[in-house]
Structure 1
Amino acid sequence: MAAVTPAHLVAGLLRRGGAARGGVAGVAAAGAAAAAQFGLVVVVTRTVSAAGAGTFFAATAVALMAAGITKLDAGNGLVYFIARAKTYGYRGMTGYIRAATVPCVVAACAAAALLWPRVGPVAAMVPVIVLGDVLLAATRGFGSLRPTVLLDGLLLPVAQFALVAAVALAGRPGWLAAAWGLPYLPVLVLAAVAVRGRAPRCPYLPGTGRDLWRYTAPRSLAGAVQAVLQRLDVVVVALLAGPAQAAVYTAATRFKVVGQLANQGLAQAVQARLVSALAGGELARARELYQAATIWLVLLTWPVWLAYAVLAPWLLTVFGPGYGTAAPVALVLAATMMVATACGMVDVVLTAAGHTGASLLNLLAAVACTLALDLALVPAHGALGAVAGWSGGVLVKNLLPLWQLHRRYGLHPFGRHTLPALRLRTWAAPA
């Protein structure tokens, strides 16, 4: 069995047959996305007051939280069913795509209507974000990481940075939200074209929607909880400590997107393979994928966290005067992300094995931990209290499924596949 190397991961972007080999391409796009998002925060904090920046960050966080909730985790459901359907020629796949997208769009439109009075026009982007995300997930189910890498990983963050920078430098802070949301439209259009070119036309089969949502329903709630966990901290800081502290917190924790995007890039590359391996009882293959992805996640992100912990007092001054005082926030962030990345893609592996209910309970425990710590610490400690709450939630979210994978399957993030995964001799080996 060939080891999964970065070469395996890169080649998948160029050849459909190597889905697991697309991970480093995904991580490379994640690096570009992280740089663009970091640049966006710098531009906003440098050109807008701390209160204005905090208001903007809170509004976009609410929009992304709403999108994360209303997409109902239908994308992962599509990846699961499309990957399993490869053996019989993707029969009925257009029905699954339709069954996944319609409820999401309806929920997203309802959320947009409810949010409009609070966050303004940025709420209109919620249905666009949701539909684009679900359609990109469908392309990954068909074995192609290219649309996700190019559209979500490169086009979207770079276009957002360019438009937000143009608006901010032009002295039009009222247009920031529109500049941030507009790039989601071409992503949606191009994602729809990508799906149309891959999904074979076929009749809607009886039971399609029932089967999809029977699997996805527990993950829908889990996806909603995950979306809340990812964005809750910024909103809580804005509510309890004010928009200025929300701007400081957003700036100091902006680097966490590096770990999130790197993990997402690898997860997107191997998720379909994990589903196939675990569905077929290939525990050894699943173990190899998990351990290979974990070691590369650690190697790619730990240098970033160590450098950020050391250089934070100087790096944070890039955002403007007064932001350097948030260095303790950066230290907590770096330490937490190092622990999280060492656990690997634990939740992805757990759900690929079909344990969506356990994943949901883990996420609920993580959100409860975050909320409890935030309510106790944010009023007195502001951004530092918020990062402590976020850290507690992240640790719960990673350590609980790590223990469950050990107990159920004997899976560990490091083991006998760790060192072989580092060998570059399998550049051209088949996945």
Structure 2
Amino acid sequence: MPAAPTPAPAPTLGRRLILLLAVACGTAVANVYFPQAVVPLIAKSLHVTPGSAAIVVTCAQLGYAAGIFLLVPLGDRLPHRRLITWLLLVTSAGLVLAGTATGLAALAAASALVGAATVVPQVIIPMAAGLTEPERRGAVTGTLLSGLIGGILLARTFSGTLGQWLGWRAPYLIAAGLVLLLALAMATALPTTSPTTDQRYPALLAESLRLLRAEPLLRRSCLYQALVFAGFSAAWTALALLVTGPRYHLGTSAVGVIALVGAASMFATPAAGRRIDRSGPDRVNLACMLGAVAAAALLLTGLLGGAAGLVGLGAGMLLLDVAMQSGQVANQSRIFALRPDARARLNTAYMTCAFLGGSVGSWLGVRAYGALGWGGVCALVALLAGLALVRHLLARPWGPAPQPAAPPAPPAAAPTGREDGVPAAR
């Protein structure tokens, strides 16, 4: 394959830029999650059942999975600034379409479009990994994921509160304006980067599948996150049905309050990243899987009702959020070390699998709640996390963290400007 043109030395990621990228991750990904809190309001407004209205959440996550597979590989092929700006503009347009939809089918289609375009965090995170020294990569990834977590959890507070007072359309339309502002900020603040490959688009897509077949550690990371994220999505999708149902008789703002408690998990991922930098990702994965199983047991207290049940739900969701997001840091740190020249394509395979798991989890969560109630949802979360835990124990990854083979040194006449062999940004 022809080598990309030799770029100038890479710009450094300063603290302010890292914080801006963390905010961008949170603002973008929030658009996939805030519909979870307003499903009951959508159902009432559009005269459908809550189970039918939950298709909006499923379509957003399926769209996100499709966007990861179809669009994130372009992060290795196109300049990041242009790609990210255009994705945000399309996201803003999709949110306007969703906020003005008059039927469930139109809303579901707009949600799928929003999900597909709002994959900006999955472009930003590999970009930042390529611009960061290996010894800081886990900490920087953890910081970006803390912003992403804040967006996921505060999105439910944002939409639940606004939906309660202004109706379900308000979160969509306000989010459209915020994303438009973010697009303008990214167009001016992002550094100019050079592609790491000149492969044609079909070859990029095929490469993600090839990496999934060729890299056992990638497959293992995908399985871990798909299972734990499925349980996470099942719990959050069913939570809105629980707290607005006959056991609690609360509004959608209550979902936002529980999510606000869970937002404390955003402080856990930087610590998880530093731990991974010291001792590798496998021990962090083990702790996260055990935490997810414990969270399922704690969430059972939601059956108590009243204040005690709400406290148990808040604590259980917080623990589940910490487990899922810290496991994400561990998994991405593992896969980004495999092929420095293909981080976007590795992330494509990984996140596609993760969000397919999340989409299935949302669907299963609604079905489990309808058939078995909240106890069935908790059992589903425990089962999924337990499967991941068994697979991890069978892998016996308790030696030193595996180190990928070093990429071949560049020719003396054409230095890359980077120690890890990745073409540096212009």
Query: Normalised by the size of structure 1, how large is the TM-score?
Result: 0.48
Normalising by structure 2, what TM-score? 0.49
* Higher helix content, 1 or 2: 1
